[in-house]
Amino acid sequence: MRKMAFLPLILISWMPCTNHLGSSTPGHQLLRIPLDFLQGEKFLVAAENYIRPLLTKGVPSLFSDLSPLYDHPGKADILEKLILELEHSLRISGGYPGRTEKEPPSTLMWTLFFLAQHYDRRGQY
């Protein structure tokens, strides 16, 4: 059981090695695992790196994939803030914050779809 305590540290130290993985590789799912363990700013950065390509690709199951995180204190608030920032930037500039390239219009639709599921999960109708 002691070895399990080191798992989050191993994953956190391994994360920079996975930054080159695209959403089309099986390794992209490895980016999901640290979201269960990370907190605060590190969680925000990891969540953004995980979510952006999946919104662009239009993965309908993204919210279902992240829904277990809503049981972790504070993570739903961070996800809400992140998705609202992405949504605002997509509406204003057509792209993600800090990027000059435009996203397909469907990216905004998938972002709104995620937000609808988010608000439904939180009971904010």
- Least reliable range by pLDDT among 22-26, 59-63, 108-112, 117-121: 22-26
Indicate the pTM of the whole model: 0.79
pLDDT tens figures, 56-89: 999 999 999 999 999 999 999 999 999 999 999 9
pLDDT tens figures, 19-64: 555 545 566 788 999 999 999 999 999 999 999 999 999 999 999 9
Domain that holds residue 89: 2-121
SS3 content of the chain, % helix, strand, coil (to 5): 75, 0, 25
pLDDT reported for residue 72: 96
Long-range CB contact pairs, 76-83, < 8 A, 24+ = 76/118, 76/121, 76/122, 78/40, 78/43, 78/44, 78/47, 79/47, 79/118, 80/118, 80/122, 81/44, 82/44, 82/47, 82/48, 82/51, 83/51, 83/111, 83/114, 83/115, 83/118
Count of domains in the chain?
1
pLDDT reported for residue 70: 98
